[in-house]
Structure 1
Amino acid sequence: MPIELKMPALSPTMEEGTLAKWLVKEGDTVAAGDLLAEIETDKATMEFEAVDEGTIAKIVVPEGTDRVKVGEVIAVIAGEGEDAGAAAEAPKAAKEPVAKEGGETGAGQPAKEDAAPAPKPEAKAAPQAAPKADTGDRVKASPLARRLAEQKGVDLSSLTGSGPGGRIVKADIDSATGAPKKAVAPEAAPVATPAAAAATADTEIPHEAVKLSNMRKTIARRLTESKQQIPHIYLTVDIQIDALLKLRGELNESLKSRGVKLSVNDMLIKALAISLIEVPACNVSFAGDQLLKYSRADVSVAVSIPNGLITPIIVGADTKSMSAIATEMKDLAGRAKEGKLQPHEYQGGTASISNMGMFGIKAFDAVINPPQAMIMAIGAGEKRPYVVNDSLQIATVMSATGSFDHRAIDGADGAKQMQAFKRLVENPLGMLA
């Protein structure tokens, strides 16, 4: 029996993706674990592996196709001993009854009696019902739908999802709670009509129109939501880092035999994690009528990649040694640039750090990455006149700016965390204890 290969959900938030590249062609024999395609999700380009063995009978969705829904058939595999040609016709045969409704084919010719048997439309409905049966203890719902259901006391298991693959979406929660349909209007209002009009008006200027990747679309959407919905408060401190640089040099000398090299950023990740534990009021997330308080500091680290930005996570950074953080960060950053991170390696985190010091940026205000409630922006370390022991001296100083979600974190608590972060960086030996 032909095996339908469907667009997979490669991340919890994925509802559609781009089939970037096929790594096989029709007629190829594949086994479980073989790489079939590269799929661009809302976060990264990931490889899709086969779980069945057989022959690629037909590629239904060509490479380069955008907005392929999760659950949509993208290829057909003929099983062992099965005729590949017959298997390739299976998807077409399944679609014909729909096209021939009313007694005609899509070309307007009379339908052949043996080409449109009555039971076929019911067979087509089977995949639609599958997601519902599959949910069981794990209900398929978008993150927004889960949050709204929690706020409004809606039992997700009692709903039938209208989204891709039976996923429960915001509209299903609104229907269940009797929310007025007009609630959609505010979301439709901020469409970037002025920007689009300006772009259209300037088309005489020499330019190149570059199609946005799924990652860039996601970055644009999430950062817009962050600035629109989260009241940011910014707190900046100047930090002397001479002691940190001295300790880094000594540690790197001792770690040379192990092939480990600490960066300043590795040490700042550790300092941020410890400061979150010391000031737990800042290690939180705002969740509607709830405040989520975390007992572990998972630090998301901004990494620039060709298609945009991704934030791999150092889990439990408060308890890891600096050498462990350096080793893990090197691996995560390398795989991030190759597009090979797994969803659990970049989704989550309790706070973020973004370092632009290597570009000579003195200071900047970073945008909070929801649902987190704070992000630390690191500027360049530079020689400045600085008061040391009541005398004016030249010291290496960097500026650090914390962006805090004012719904969840009061200014005084944010100030305490910035104070703790400054103390840890200026007295780095304490981070080794």
Structure 2
Amino acid sequence: GDLPVPAVTKGATFMSPRVRARMAELQLTAADLAGIMGTGAGNRVTIKDLENFLHKIETQTAHEASAIRAGVADAMRRSWTRPLSTIGSSVSLDPVLQDRQSRDPKPGPGLYALRALAVALSKNPGAAAKLIGNRVVQSKSIDVGIAVEAEDGIMVPVIRGADKTSLADLATKYKELVELARQRRISPDMQAGGIATVSNFGTFGMEWGTPIPLPDQTLLLGLGVGKKVPSWNEEKKEFVPCTEAQITLSFDHRSIDGGGAGRLLKRVIELLENPNEL
């Protein structure tokens, strides 16, 4: 039979031209007004509903959003207009943790992930291609961003030619970028032109996440926190402790299918578990 259709749709879906004009004046979006219950015909949001909503906001604690927060909000709003998907798997971090002990400076797991993604993309750059209109646009350079926490937001400086940048150089550059982010001195040019981004949300103790790719990028690789888990050792015929993390790949499904994304993530995992190839 036919699917049931609600007789009434609630929320800021139906808005009069006068309401839309007032929204434009205040630079508001429909998402900002999602909590309004319209009292007009067919639950249409009236100008009175909007003004009541604005009055309630004035009675609450509020402050102007910082430039960084406003920028992040705008980027995420634009990103969400695309069909995004996320796949994930587990990865053993023991090889990375052992390898980093022999390096100076010592890169963190997130930088190993960035390097692994860059190396994987250097052999398969089409995985990070962008769909613009009916054209598939592929970058000539493997420029990968890394999410850096700043006050009231996230900044994503880009490592140019990351596939040609050693782990030692990545560690040095990352330290510099973190300091610049704290000082809010990362310029727009330093954040432009990336083809993918790495987010190490494991630094916050998170195991799993579905980070949203930036609006001008197709891919975002996420790495969770490492945890000790039992792993079956075929040679010893017993379970042994292993440091394991969850790794995710969020992608624009218009540009790459699940199979292509899966093969890319599998290659990233192979590189992380064989860091001598990095």
Calculate the TM-score normalised by the size of structure 2: 0.78
Counterpart CA distance in 2 for 1:204 and 1:320 is 50
Q: Is contact 1:299–1:352 with CA below 8 Å preserved after alignment?
A: yes
Aligned partner (choices 84, 87, 91) of residue 235 of structure 1:
87
2:259 counterpart of 1:412: yes
1:201 CA drift (Å): 7.8
Partner of 1:338: 183
Q: Is contact 1:278–1:420 with CA below 8 Å preserved after alignment?
A: no
- Superposed CA offset, 1:214-264 (max 9, x none): 32222112201211x21111110100010110010121xxx2xxxx33222
Partner of 1:291: 136
Partner of 2:96: 244
Secondary structure at the residue paired with 2:88? strand
Q: Is contact 2:224–2:247 with CA below 8 Å preserved after alignment?
A: yes
Q: Is contact 1:354–1:376 with CA below 8 Å preserved after alignment?
A: yes
Larger radius of gyration: 1
Aligned partner (choices 210, 214, 218) of residue 71 of structure 2:
218
Q: Is contact 1:374–1:404 with CA below 8 Å preserved after alignment?
A: yes
Q: Which runs of 5+ in 2 are unaligned?
A: 1-23, 37-49
Counterpart CA distance in 2 for 1:246 and 1:377 is 21
2:259 counterpart of 1:402: no
Secondary structure at the residue paired with 2:145? strand
- Superposed CA offset, 1:253-299 (max 9, x none): xx2xxxx3322222221111111123323121221221111232111
Q: 1:281 to 1:388 in 2, by over 3 A?
A: farther
2:272 counterpart of 1:425: yes
1:338 CA drift (Å): 0.6
2:192 counterpart letter in structure 1: Q
Q: 1:226 to 1:236 in 2, by over 3 A?
A: same
Aligned partner (choices 196, 206, 218) of residue 351 of structure 1:
196
Q: 1:201 to 1:343 in 2, by over 3 A?
A: closer
- Superposed CA offset, 1:356-390 (max 9, x none): 11211011000110110010111001101223336
1:200 CA drift (Å): 5.0
Counterpart CA distance in 2 for 1:387 and 1:280 is 35
1:343 CA drift (Å): 2.5
Aligned residues: 237
1:425 counterpart letter in structure 2: L
Secondary structure at the residue paired with 1:250? coil
Q: Is contact 1:238–1:400 with CA below 8 Å preserved after alignment?
A: yes
2:121 counterpart of 1:276: yes
Partner of 1:370: 215
Counterpart CA distance in 2 for 1:271 and 1:396 is 18
1:203 CA drift (Å): 5.5
Counterpart CA distance in 1 for 2:193 and 2:183 is 20
Q: Which runs of 5+ in 1 are unaligned?
A: 1-183
Aligned partner (choices 183, 200, 209) of residue 62 of structure 2:
209
2:106 counterpart of 1:261: yes
Q: 1:280 to 1:194 in 2, by over 3 A?
A: closer
Secondary structure at the residue paired with 1:318? helix
Q: Is contact 2:79–2:212 with CA below 8 Å preserved after alignment?
A: yes
Q: Is contact 1:283–1:297 with CA below 8 Å preserved after alignment?
A: no
Q: Which structure is higher in RCO with an 8 Å CA cutoff and minimum separation 6?
A: 2
How does 1:103-114 map onto structure 2 within 5 Å? Answer: none
How does 1:193-208 map onto structure 2 within 5 Å? Answer: 193-195=33-35, 207-208=60-61
Q: Quote the sequence identity (%).
A: 26
- Superposed CA offset, 1:150-199 (max 9, x none): xxxxxxxxxxxxxxxxxxxxxxxxxxxxxxxxxx9xx9973522346696
Q: Is contact 2:110–2:199 with CA below 8 Å preserved after alignment?
A: no
Secondary structure at the residue paired with 1:244? helix
Q: 1:315 to 1:189 in 2, by over 3 A?
A: closer
Secondary structure at the residue paired with 1:233? strand
Counterpart CA distance in 1 for 2:86 and 2:189 is 29
Calculate the aligned-residue CA RMSD, in Å: 2.4
1:307 CA drift (Å): 2.8
Secondary structure at the residue paired with 2:212? coil
Partner of 2:15: none
Counterpart CA distance in 1 for 2:169 and 2:217 is 24
1:354 CA drift (Å): 0.7
Comparing 187-196 and 316-325, the one that deviates more: 187-196
Counterpart CA distance in 1 for 2:126 and 2:133 is 17
Secondary structure at the residue paired with 2:214? coil
Partner of 1:393: 240
- Superposed CA offset, 1:83-122 (max 9, x none): xxxxxxxxxxxxxxxxxxxxxxxxxxxxxxxxxxxxxxxx
Q: Is contact 1:299–1:351 with CA below 8 Å preserved after alignment?
A: yes
Counterpart CA distance in 2 for 1:292 and 1:204 is 46
Partner of 1:22: none
